[in-house]
A and B are shown apart, each in its own frame.
Chain A
Amino acid sequence: MTTDPYEHLDPSVLNAMDDVELMVKSVVNGYLSGIHKSLYQGSGLEFIQYRNYTQGDDLKFIDWKAAARTDKIYTKVFQEETNMDCHILLDCSASMEYGSKSNTNENTISKLQYMKIAASCLTYFIYKQGDKIGCTGFSDDIDHHIDASNKKEHLENILANISNSTAKGKGLSDKIEDFIASSLHNRGIVIMFSDCLHEENRVIDLLKLLSHSNYECILINLFHQDEVDFPFAGSKVFIDSETEDFIVTSPELIKEDYLKEFKTFQENIRSQCIQHKIEPLTISTKLNLGEVFNQYIRFRNGIYK
């Protein structure tokens, strides 16, 4: 019998939790307990714990005194000290609203809600790792901007801002790009949540710019499951959330072409990301948060190896 280790990270379940702090703590702590052995371990200053010696461990980390007392060989585990700024960019454009009950008449989680949960959990997760965390939310304009810091009050501020985010406007603009580019100076990681449904390559261009500024960039390309599956039937008037352009058509007739176009779009985003050394992560609102964390950890480990 196999069980999903990230069952408790189902976004639809987390969406029902009102207390954001409680939610992120439960998520992150639960996640961390599940991946205990993969914590960042290194030669930092802060001792964390002992563990049994295993073949291949560095001999310099063996606690010989303890070995003398107990006749067992233990290896010291230290928490790695980092000095990394991590900044989360939140795309709060109107297209992120898709999936809410008012929009689809179905009780599904919207892209915005998913982004809020994922961003909150990731913020806490990063905070727990000891890295500095900052956050910028934008829609028509910059909704909020918090510089990176690792203070607890700072964390609470970020979580509150994330929680209060609303979807509106067309998203990225020159003004927003300029602001973000001028606000981020230190070396660090930029995690951007977006559906990339902006003007052509605006998201890539922004991340490319940040990448050139010594930032390691992760693009979490977020889609609603409906956008992936296109499960509509009957005659529909499709109205663009941002531009309010509309198309009247029968979904059954256009589904095949739509899926083809959508797949091309995703591959295009991915290829551009790889080209510009941006870590792409395409997820749908159906995916649980464990995948997000794993991706982030892989990426984080990749940077420091």
Chain B
Amino acid sequence: MNIIFSNPAFLYFIPLITVPFILHLISRDLPSKLFFPAIRFIKVGKIPVNEKRKLRDILLMLARVLIILAIILICSDPSFKKETANINKRAVVIFDTSIAAFHKSYMNKINEKLSEIEINQNQSVLFIESSNHIKSDKTNADINLNSFYNTLQPSQESPNHYDAFVKASEFLNDQKGTIYIVSNFDIHGFEQINKQLFHPETKITFIEIPLSAQNKTLVSALATTSQKNKNNSTRISIKINNNNHSEEKTTVKIFSTKLLDEKEVSLKIGETDVVIFDLEIEAGTPLMVTIPNDDFSPDNNYFLRSPNLATIDILLISDPNSPIESLFFSEALNVSSQNQSQNMNIMNETPKKLFLSNYESLDFIIISGCAYQLNDRQLTNIFKRYKAGAHLILTPGKLFRKNLSKLNEYGLIAQTPIKKIGGEYDITPYFITNIKIDSSWLKIFKKTSNDFLSIPIKQYIKLRSSQSSEVLLEVENHDPFLVINRQNSGISFLFSINLIPAWSDLPITPIFLPLLHQIITVTYSDTHKSQIKAMTPGSSYKLVENEELLVYQGLESSKITSSKDPFIKLTTPGCYYNLSSTLNVNSSRDHSNPDILSKFEFISQVKHNKIKKTIQNSDSIDNKMWANLCYLLLLLFAIETILHGLKPKLNMHTNLEEN
């Protein structure tokens, strides 16, 4: 007979049995000495009564110990099972020959690991090949481990661990045994073995066939903006690695709803290369990358999607009387748009021809030294756009003061021009000395910040700071040079100089272009963060609260929403998500492998029934009876504790009278 505990965790409470011991030692009545003359009247025959009391106390303490022990044992749910003659003589070996077996080294590694499977000749062994179609063989004189291994065939299907476990359970028949599971455990299932299907003392050995990420052909796949042209384009950068491939040539294909592009790659063993596809596709288009000679599967697919590429719409309002300034702005923006990853749509206007209603969306409005030429209606519309999220870049003009009150009314500028000062170039030029280098707009100038010192400021508008403004650049006498102000979701940038050479040399210095680009891109990216992310297979994505994620699995999409903070893992085809109870999956179609989910539900059901069956077959006492007994003992214990623990003297006296 063996005792098996269903809830062995309760055995950790066994030290509680020392509590009655401690209570007994603490509360025991140590006799006090008394010199008493009339001792002769104390009858000797009554002395053992005290000993009886001691004995009773000890018995009481032991009873309490036994009660606690009984409660612990009840909670740990022991059961008795008879040993059978052949319990140690059965073993099951499960080989995972699912999709992972197509890895070129997988089968060889299984062969190397066969030595870890310890099977005696006396044991009855069941070999199971776990693929879509279970194949099993009981050992006999003709079949041994190696011969069964030779029959293994890689499958393109998911592992059928459910059927494998059921077969193993039927073979072991609720008896002790040994189970070996040989798998790469790259996909979920085998490590989540339902142990309730087996005898609790069944030894389960996991033999892992490691397939490291380095052996994968595709190292990474990334979708970014294409540099090819200004239209909506996606650049797919696929990094592949030829590790242990015999063939040097492979073809990488990109699919959407059809084959979009393909490239042939020639790689020697150990070499890594990056294959780039520039595709003119809509933002957010699901894509599939296929690499025929991948380590795992000739048809292995990787899924990603193009990022949501947007164009920054910039309205440049320039002074027709000062063409050089508008020239500096427009050229700088064009160069920035061509060289950088962001698309910029630059629209030029003059104050006279400006009708903002012609522009549906504007991300930036640049007013280049011509604010004084704008009428009230134009300014009002500009301010509306500004408050709605369009950002402003302003440079002062000749008659900057003209619209000063209007500008200040809308909080467009935080400073009030006081007077125009500045030294002559040949006498005392000013230089930019104070740079708020930690701001996101100026971070790139960290290494070349000394370049600001080479910009002579010949004249500038002296601005007065306000509380809501932020000064990014200052000239050497601490007058603001570039300040920003925020109004609702809009951000305005105000320079204290015009871009004409009479004011400063800024436009012709190497700093101007990156400074303007930073102002535009950083401001835009801060306010237009993409809600759609390109992800490569195997990558992980952490859903934030109430976030909705569209996951493309092949050409099918699944919508995953989170109520709390689940962590999901995008996996390769043939696998399934690491689902949790907090994750709701609303799929346009069922999962790519719905059978697996349904089988897991079935396992749960089988598990429940199995437990019931085990209880009915065992010799253990019915749980209800245990519970009733437990409650009865607890009640007795409580009553006894109250009577003996709280009122020992009274109780003793009462007992004496009863005796």
Q: Check if A265 sits within 8 Å of B32, measured CB to CB.
A: no
Decide if the interface of chain B is mainly helix, strand, loop or mixed. Answer: helix
Q: Check if A250 sits within 8 Å of B33, measured CB to CB.
A: no
Of all chain B residues, the one with the shortest Cβ separation from A167 is B37
- Provide the residues of chain A in CB contact with B46, threshold 8 Å: 249, 253-254, 257
Q: Which of B32, B33, B36, B653 has the most CB atoms of chain A within a 10 A radius of its CB?
A: B36
Number of interface residues of B (CB under 8 A): 25
Interface bits A235-275 vs B (CB < 8 Å: 1, else 0): 11111111001111110111001100110010000000000
Of all chain B residues, the one with the shortest Cβ separation from A195 is B37
A195 to B53, CA, bound (A): 33
Q: Is B419 on the interface with A (CB-CB < 8 A)? A: no
A94 to B53, CA, bound (A): 32
Q: Check if B29 sits within 8 Å of A249, measured CB to CB.
A: no
Q: Is A29 on the interface with B (CB-CB < 8 A)? A: no
Q: Check if B41 sits within 8 Å of A95, measured CB to CB.
A: no
- Provide the residues of chain A in CB contact with B38, threshold 8 Å: 95, 197, 223, 227, 258, 262
Interface bits B34-75 vs A (CB < 8 Å: 1, else 0): 111111111110110110010000000000000000000000
Of all chain B residues, the one with the shortest Cβ separation from A97 is B35
- Provide the residues of chain B in CB contact with A239, threshold 8 Å: 33-36, 39
Of all chain B residues, the one with the shortest Cβ separation from A240 is B39
Q: Check if B41 sits within 8 Å of A237, measured CB to CB.
A: no
- Provide the residues of chain B in CB contact with A104, threshold 8 Å: 34
Within 8 A of A (CB), among B584-637: none
- Provide the residues of chain A in CB contact with B50, threshold 8 Å: 235, 248-250, 253
Distance to closest chain A CB from B44 (angstroms): 8
Q: Is B649 on the interface with A (CB-CB < 8 A)? A: yes
Q: Is A98 on the interface with B (CB-CB < 8 A)? A: yes
Q: Check if B656 sits within 8 Å of A253, measured CB to CB.
A: yes
Q: Give the residue of A248, A254, A261 whose beta carbon is less than 8 angstroms from that of B31.
A: A248
Q: Check if B42 sits within 8 Å of A234, measured CB to CB.
A: no
Q: Which of A94, A234, A250, A265 has the most CB atoms of chain B within a 10 A radius of its CB?
A: A250
Distance to closest chain A CB from B29 (angstroms): 4
A247 to B43, CA, bound (A): 10
Q: Is A233 on the interface with B (CB-CB < 8 A)? A: yes
Q: Give the residue of B33, B35, B43 whose beta carbon is less than 8 angstroms from that of A254.
A: B43
User: Interface size bucket, A side?
Assistant: 35 or more
Given the interface pairs A254-B42, A254-B43, A257-B46, the reply to whether A240 lies near B37 with Cβ below 8 Å is yes
Q: Is A179 on the interface with B (CB-CB < 8 A)? A: no
Given the interface pairs A249-B47, A253-B656, the reply to whether A241 lies near B42 with Cβ below 8 Å is no
Q: Is A232 on the interface with B (CB-CB < 8 A)? A: yes
A240 to B39, CA, bound (A): 6
Q: Check if A235 sits within 8 Å of B652, measured CB to CB.
A: no
- Provide the residues of chain B in CB contact with A253, threshold 8 Å: 46, 49-50, 53, 652, 656
A98 to B652, CA, bound (A): 28
* Given A236-B32, A247-B47, A252-B652, 15 additional A-B pairs, CB 8 A: A98-B35, A104-B34, A227-B37, A234-B32, A235-B31, A235-B50, A237-B33, A238-B39, A239-B34, A239-B36, A249-B42, A250-B53, A252-B649, A258-B42, A261-B43
Q: What 6 A-B pairs have minimum CB-CB distances, sorted nearest first?
A: A95-B37, A235-B31, A261-B41, A235-B29, A240-B39, A238-B36
A–B pairs, 13, beta carbons within 8 Å: A95-B38, A104-B34, A233-B649, A237-B31, A237-B33, A239-B39, A242-B37, A249-B42, A250-B50, A252-B649, A252-B656, A258-B38, A261-B42
A residues adjacent to B (C-beta < 8 A): 94-98, 103-104, 195, 197, 223-224, 227, 232-242, 245-250, 252-254, 257-258, 261-262, 265
B residues adjacent to A (C-beta < 8 A): 29-44, 46-47, 49-50, 53, 649, 652-653, 656
